């Protein structure tokens, strides 16, 4: 009998401590993209298929998008129509309002682009044995290994952030048995392959424009010609043999390596993108110089040095948190396909649930690094020139969901790619506010891109207002500006960056609000993304006034601006105005079914189980509705969720995990987590069913959207800790199946970091670390006497530490010198509906 090598993961078994995971692994190559495995360093992304004879590495670079800086005023007629929209809404003529609103539309956004394919051809006559591939998220490295004719071939793949290169190391277990070729493919016709010494360089241009995949009326949906001189960025990506003991030849068909035992390839890429407002070609960066510098630096280093630096850099983020939610026994060592199938039938795999949490963190670290571009609808992984929904930023839920886990899951610094990007969107959003509505401040509508697009999309009248004309993106994005401060306590960031943007987003809302007949401030027009109501006359409409989500967003933004301006001692007059508006905002309503009403009136929904649950923004990610403070609205929110049901797209299920966690119903949140982790193979677009998880653990809308992964990670964090109610509420939504567990490094607002252990649903040990002092209140499910509090060295230790056992109190904190005070949430509560 032939000696079979133990699969890589099983070799590592003894090394696992209680928190470690067996790598995600499979016994066969990927059959399609949703089975390939993602690796990345924030900027460069690779999907590896693990094929034997022809390995496919599908490549991305985060800045490679179609188009160029946005047109500031693409529809100069748009501004004329708002008065007529409002007038129609006053008459309750929703049909006329909708038609008129459609005239207030600009252009579609641009699309995220693939970079190309690297093919590794390693043709064998015989079939492999002992095939194995994995993704090790502890080290951010993927492996493929198989044996043919007694020779074991292995491939190791990782993407280094310190060295900005993709590293592929191929080996054969017997000397001289490694023979392969590496060749390149570009999806962009304006590409040219340049052959150098041991090196291939693919140089080309991204499209000048790419239509969204749902637009089908243009003869040329993707084009490269650029009449404006300001669209279409350049790219250069290179493959270089760093070291090998074999023979190397290179020509236009690729690089060939023969009679080798080992070969290390370096791949890197750069584009000429130079900022959201710069022509990507004429004002672009020198992409050739960039790739050359990356290759030069990495070529001089040993693979051990590159690998060690990569792992140290990755673990600097990843190792901040540990999570254990129970033990899974042998299930933990199943290949991922068998494991997901088993889970769909039997559940009971808490280590898979903890792995899913960490996988979300892995994906954020791999797709979002400071100084870069925010993770888009697919993170950074996309093989299509017209990807679903342009793989752009949809601000009515998806883009924000990507960043929900950043703060609680201890990746605050990665949140800055998103908060930094907001400045560009706000800059174009200022033009949009002025040119489309004649208003001050800034806003973003439901779609954006690397160019910070902010206009209502729809190609000047072809989009449905139910999504295209939602105007509250500025308010929702601003929540991230504030939350980053609430967790990080970065005063300089608040004062000089976040607050001015938040204030100007509020300024737009002040201009946008109008009074209704009852003297309430309302938004007009308003939609509830992307739902449709049925009027008393039985007509289906989407445009009305004062949708619940709009009012909750305005409330959230105004209260955050008030807190920030108070803290900074700035803009007292503005604060007063905002406080006055809050007194008379159109309040939340409870409908006849006992639900939180979605619309201005208690209309029926066209689709009562619609995937968006926009009207629960005030429950999550807003803070207004809480079982601790607003019991009536809490009950109404629960009713709303019951009516909506547990179905929907992947991201919809993720959002519902967060909602049920905020309702403190851990078992229901866990049921949704099981739904989210349900294996699906559905490829096309499905809005109602099939939301779940692909074999590679990517979330299925379907199709793949990364938001559901991130929303799932955030949901698990919300089940274990919440800090939005003026208190750090520990285990607020613990499901029965996670009765015993342990977490390290969960973050709370106010800069607190929590390590805790629990047994039989009772906390047995807590350590609270404080980054910058301040008042700390804890709410525990049980009595505990040995909580420990550690203040960061050299920081203010004048904190006030209170532990509440299973009760919630709103006592005034002792005076201390603190940066962010959790109590802002409870000391000043504005009423949105008089609960």
Please, which residue, 159 or 377, has the CB nearer to ligand FUC?
A: 377
Q: How far is the CB of 80 from ligand FUC (least distance, A)?
A: 28
Among 649, 658, 713, 729, contact with ligand FUC (rule: CB under 6 A): 649
Q: How far is the CB of 75 from ligand FUC (least distance, A)?
A: 21
Question: Alpha-carbon distance 598 to 546, whole Å?
Answer: 9
Q: How far is the CB of 58 from ligand FUC (least distance, A)?
A: 21
Q: How far is the CB of 534 from ligand FUC (least distance, A)?
A: 19
Q: What is the largest CA-CA distance in the chain?
A: 86
Give the relative orientation of helices 82-90 and 94-101 as an angle to the nearest 10 degrees: 170
Give the relative orientation of helices 412-437 and 499-512 as an angle to the nearest 10 degrees: 30
Q: How far is the CB of 611 from ligand FUC (least distance, A)?
A: 6
Question: Alpha-carbon distance 751 to 772, whole Å?
Answer: 7
Size of the site for ligand FUC (CB under 6 A): 12
Question: Alpha-carbon distance 636 to 274, whole Å?
Answer: 48
Among 377, 481, 676, 763, contact with ligand FUC (rule: CB under 6 A): 377
CB 484 within 8 A of CB 421: no
Q: How far is the CB of 548 from ligand FUC (least distance, A)?
A: 17
Please, which residue, 328 or 396, has the CB nearer to ligand FUC?
A: 396
In the window 80-139, what residues touch ligand FUC (CB under 6 A)? Answer: none
Please, which residue, 179 or 390, has the CB nearer to ligand FUC?
A: 390
- What 3-state DSSP class applies to 685? coil
Q: How far is the CB of 530 from ligand FUC (least distance, A)?
A: 5
Please, which residue, 711 or 726, has the CB nearer to ligand FUC?
A: 711
Interaction of residue 378 with ligand FUC, rule CB under 6 A:
no
In the window 300-319, what residues touch ligand FUC (CB under 6 A)? Answer: none
Question: Alpha-carbon distance 498 to 496, whole Å?
Answer: 7
CB 390 within 8 A of CB 109: yes
Please, which residue, 455 or 630, has the CB nearer to ligand FUC?
A: 455
Q: Per residue in 790-801, is it b (16+ CB within 10 Å) or e — as a string?
A: ebeeebeeebbe
Q: What are 686-692's contacts with CB under 8 Å, separation 24+? A: 686/649, 687/611, 687/649, 688/609, 688/611, 688/647, 688/648, 688/649, 689/647, 691/647, 691/648, 691/649, 691/650, 691/651, 691/652, 691/653, 692/650, 692/653
CB 788 within 8 A of CB 460: no
Interaction of residue 653 with ligand FUC, rule CB under 6 A:
no
The secondary structure of residue 20, as a DSSP letter, is: -
Q: How far is the CB of 65 from ligand FUC (least distance, A)?
A: 16
Q: How far is the CB of 174 from ligand FUC (least distance, A)?
A: 49
Please, which residue, 157 or 375, has the CB nearer to ligand FUC?
A: 375
Please, which residue, 712 or 833, has the CB nearer to ligand FUC?
A: 712
Q: How far is the CB of 377 from ligand FUC (least distance, A)?
A: 6
Q: How far is the CB of 574 from ligand FUC (least distance, A)?
A: 33
Please, which residue, 548 or 589, has the CB nearer to ligand FUC?
A: 548
Please, which residue, 685 or 757, has the CB nearer to ligand FUC?
A: 685
Each residue 194-213 as x (binds ligand FUC by CB under 6 A) or -, in order, gives --------------------
**SS3 of 617-684:** CCCCCCCCCCCCCCHHHHHHHHHHHHHHCCCCCHHHHHHHHHHHHHCCCHHHHHHHHHHHCCECCCCC
**SS3 of 799-815:** CCEEEEECCCCCCCCCC
Q: Which residue from 365, 364, 360, 333 is spatially nearest to 349, judged by alpha carbons?
A: 333
Q: How far is the CB of 196 from ligand FUC (least distance, A)?
A: 41
In the window 694-753, what residues touch ligand FUC (CB under 6 A)? Answer: 701, 705
Q: How far is the CB of 398 from ligand FUC (least distance, A)?
A: 5
Q: Where does residue 286 fall: left (phi above 0), alpha (psi -120 to 50 degrees), or beta otherwise?
A: beta
Please, which residue, 560 or 654, has the CB nearer to ligand FUC?
A: 654
Please, which residue, 403 or 487, has the CB nearer to ligand FUC?
A: 403
In the window 576-635, what residues touch ligand FUC (CB under 6 A)? Answer: 611
CB 680 within 8 A of CB 701: no
- What 3-state DSSP class applies to 140? coil
Q: How far is the CB of 803 from ligand FUC (least distance, A)?
A: 41
Interaction of residue 394 with ligand FUC, rule CB under 6 A:
yes
CB 373 within 8 A of CB 729: no
DSSP letter for each residue of 173-187: SSTT-EEEEEEEE-S
List the 322-324 sheet strands across, edge first. Answer: 322-324, 741-748, 752-759, 762-770, 788-791
The secondary structure of residue 493, as a DSSP letter, is: H
Among 398, 448, 680, 723, contact with ligand FUC (rule: CB under 6 A): 398
Please, which residue, 43 or 701, has the CB nearer to ligand FUC?
A: 701
Q: How far is the CB of 308 from ligand FUC (least distance, A)?
A: 39
- What 3-state DSSP class applies to 737? helix
Each residue 325-354 as x (binds ligand FUC by CB under 6 A) or -, in order, gives ------------------------------
Please, which residue, 691 or 741, has the CB nearer to ligand FUC?
A: 691
Please, which residue, 394 or 428, has the CB nearer to ligand FUC?
A: 394
Give the angle subtended at the CA of 287 by the CAs of 285 and 292, to the nearest 5°. 135
Please, which residue, 68 or 690, has the CB nearer to ligand FUC?
A: 690
Q: How far is the CB of 396 from ligand FUC (least distance, A)?
A: 6
Each residue 254-273 as x (binds ligand FUC by CB under 6 A) or -, in order, gives --------------------
**SS3 of 256-309:** EEEEECEEEEEEEEEECCCCCCCCCCCCCCCHHHHHHHHHHHHHCCCHHHHHHH
CB 440 within 8 A of CB 507: yes
In the window 452-481, what residues touch ligand FUC (CB under 6 A)? Answer: 467
Q: How far is the CB of 409 from ligand FUC (least distance, A)?
A: 22
Interaction of residue 530 with ligand FUC, rule CB under 6 A:
yes
The secondary structure of residue 524, as a DSSP letter, is: S
Question: Alpha-carbon distance 252 to 265, whole Å?
Answer: 17
Q: How far is the CB of 63 from ligand FUC (least distance, A)?
A: 21
C-alpha separations of 755 from 664, 759, 769, 789 in Å? 20, 14, 8, 11
Interaction of residue 400 with ligand FUC, rule CB under 6 A:
no
Please, which residue, 687 or 800, has the CB nearer to ligand FUC?
A: 687
Please, which residue, 244 or 395, has the CB nearer to ligand FUC?
A: 395
In the window 54-83, what residues touch ligand FUC (CB under 6 A)? Answer: none
Among 108, 389, 586, 599, contact with ligand FUC (rule: CB under 6 A): 389
Looking only at the bridges linking them, the beta strands covering 801-805 and 776-780 are: parallel
Each residue 677-696 as x (binds ligand FUC by CB under 6 A) or -, in order, gives ----------x---------
Please, which residue, 647 or 816, has the CB nearer to ligand FUC?
A: 647
Strands (E), 676-760: 692-693, 699-700, 721-722, 728-730, 741-748, 752-759
Q: What are the residues binding ligand FUC (CB under 6 A)?
A: 377, 389, 394, 398, 467, 530, 611, 649, 651, 687, 701, 705
């Amino acid at each position: 009998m032939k000696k079979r090598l133990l699969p890589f993961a099983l070799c590592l078994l003894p090394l696992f401590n209680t928190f470690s995971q067996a790598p995600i692994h499979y016994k066969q190559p990927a059959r399609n993209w949703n089975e390939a495995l993602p690796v990345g360093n924030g900027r460069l992304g690779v999907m590896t298929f693990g094929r034997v004879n022809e390995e496919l590495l599908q490549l991305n670079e985060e800045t490679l998008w179609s188009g160029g800086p946005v047109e500031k005023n693409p529809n100069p007629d748009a501004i004329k129509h708002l008065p007529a929209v409002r007038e129609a809404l006053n008459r309750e003529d929703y049909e006329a309002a909708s038609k008129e609103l459609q005239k207030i539309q600009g252009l579609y956004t641009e699309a995220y682009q693939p970079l190309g394919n690297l093919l590794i051809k390693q043709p064998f006559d015989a079939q492999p044995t002992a095939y194995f591939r994995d993704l090790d998220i502890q080290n951010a490295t993927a492996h493929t290994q198989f044996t043919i004719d007694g020779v074991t071939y292995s491939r190791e793949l990782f993407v280094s952030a310190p060295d900005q290169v993709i590293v592929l190391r191929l080996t054969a277990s017997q000397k001289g048995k490694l023979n392969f070729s590496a060749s390149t493919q570009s999806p962009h016709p304006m590409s040219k392959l340049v052959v150098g010494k041991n090196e291939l360089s693919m140089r080309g241009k991204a499209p000048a424009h790419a239509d969204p995949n749902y637009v089908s009326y243009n003869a040329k949906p993707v084009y490269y010609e650029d009449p404006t001189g300001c669209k279409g960025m350049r790219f250069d990506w290179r493959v270089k043999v760093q070291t090998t003991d074999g023979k190397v030849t290179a020509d236009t068909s690729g690089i060939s390596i023969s009679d080798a035992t080992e070969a290390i390839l370096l791949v890197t890429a750069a584009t000429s993108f130079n900022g959201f407002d710069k022509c990507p070609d004429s004002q672009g960066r020198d992409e050739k110089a960039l790739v050359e510098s990356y290759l030069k630096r990495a070529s001089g280093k040993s693979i051990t040095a590159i690998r060690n630096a990569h792992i140290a850099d990755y673990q600097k983020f990843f190792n901040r948190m540990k999570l254990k939610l129970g033990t899974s026994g042998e299930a933990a060592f199943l290949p991922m396909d068998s494991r997901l199938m088993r889970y769909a039938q039997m559940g009971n795999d808490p280590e898979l649930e903890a792995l899913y949490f960490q996988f979300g963190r892995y994906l954020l670290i791999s797709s979002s690094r400071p100084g870069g571009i925010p993770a888009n609808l697919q993170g950074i992984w996309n093989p299509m020139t017209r990807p679903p929904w342009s793989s752009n930023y949809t601000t009515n839920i998806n883009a924000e969901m990507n960043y929900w886990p950043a703060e609680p899951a201890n990746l605050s610094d990665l949140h800055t790619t998103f908060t930094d990007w907001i400045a560009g969107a706000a800059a174009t959003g200022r033009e949009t506010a002025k040119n489309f509505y004649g208003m001050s401040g800034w806003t973003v509508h439901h779609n954006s891109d690397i160019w910070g697009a902010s206009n209502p999309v729809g190609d000047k009248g072809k989009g449905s207002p139910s999504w295209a004309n939602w105007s509250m993106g500025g308010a929702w994005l601003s929540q991230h500006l504030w939350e980053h401060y609430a967790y990080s306590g970065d005063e300089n960031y608040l004062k000089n960056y976040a607050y001015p943007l938040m204030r100007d987003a509020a300024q737009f809302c002040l201009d946008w609000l109008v009074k209704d007949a009852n003297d309430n401030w309302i938004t007009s027009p308003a939609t509830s993304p992307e739902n449709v109501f049925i009027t008393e006359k039985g007509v289906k409409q989407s445009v009305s006034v004062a949708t619940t989500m709009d009012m909750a967003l305005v409330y959230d933004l105004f209260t955050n601006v008030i807190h920030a301006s108070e803290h900074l001692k700035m803009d007292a007059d503005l604060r007063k105005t905002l406080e006055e508006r809050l007194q008379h905002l159109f309040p939340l309503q409870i409908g006849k079914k006992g639900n939180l009403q979605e619309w201005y009136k208690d209309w029926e929904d066209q689709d009562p189980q619609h995937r968006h649950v926009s009207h629960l923004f005030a429950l999550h990610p807003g803070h207004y509705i809480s079982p601790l403070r607003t019991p009536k609205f809490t009950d109404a929110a629960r009713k709303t969720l019951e009516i909506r049901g547990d179905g929907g797209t992947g991201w919809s299920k993720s959002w519902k995990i967060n909602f049920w966690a905020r309702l403190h119903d851990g078992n229901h949140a866990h049921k949704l987590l099981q739904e989210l982790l349900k294996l699906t193979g559905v490829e096309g677009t499905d809005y109602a069913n099939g939301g779940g998880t692909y074999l590679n653990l990517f979330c299925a809308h379907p199709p793949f959207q990364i938001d559901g992964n991130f929303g799932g990670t955030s949901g698990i964090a919300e089940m274990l800790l919440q800090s939005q109610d003026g208190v750090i509420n520990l285990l607020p939504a613990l499901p029965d199946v996670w009765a015993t567990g342990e977490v390290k490094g969960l973050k709370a607002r106010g800069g607190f970091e929590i390590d805790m252990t629990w047994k039989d649903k009772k906390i047995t040990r807590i350590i609270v670390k404080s980054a910058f002092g301040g008042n700390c209140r804890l709410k525990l499910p049980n009595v505990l006497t040995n909580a420990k509090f550690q203040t960061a060295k050299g920081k203010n230790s004048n904190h006030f530490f209170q532990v509440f056992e299973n009760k919630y109190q709103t006592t005034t904190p002792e005076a201390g010198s603190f940066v962010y005070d959790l109590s802002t949430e409870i000391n000043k509560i504005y009423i949105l509906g008089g609960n």
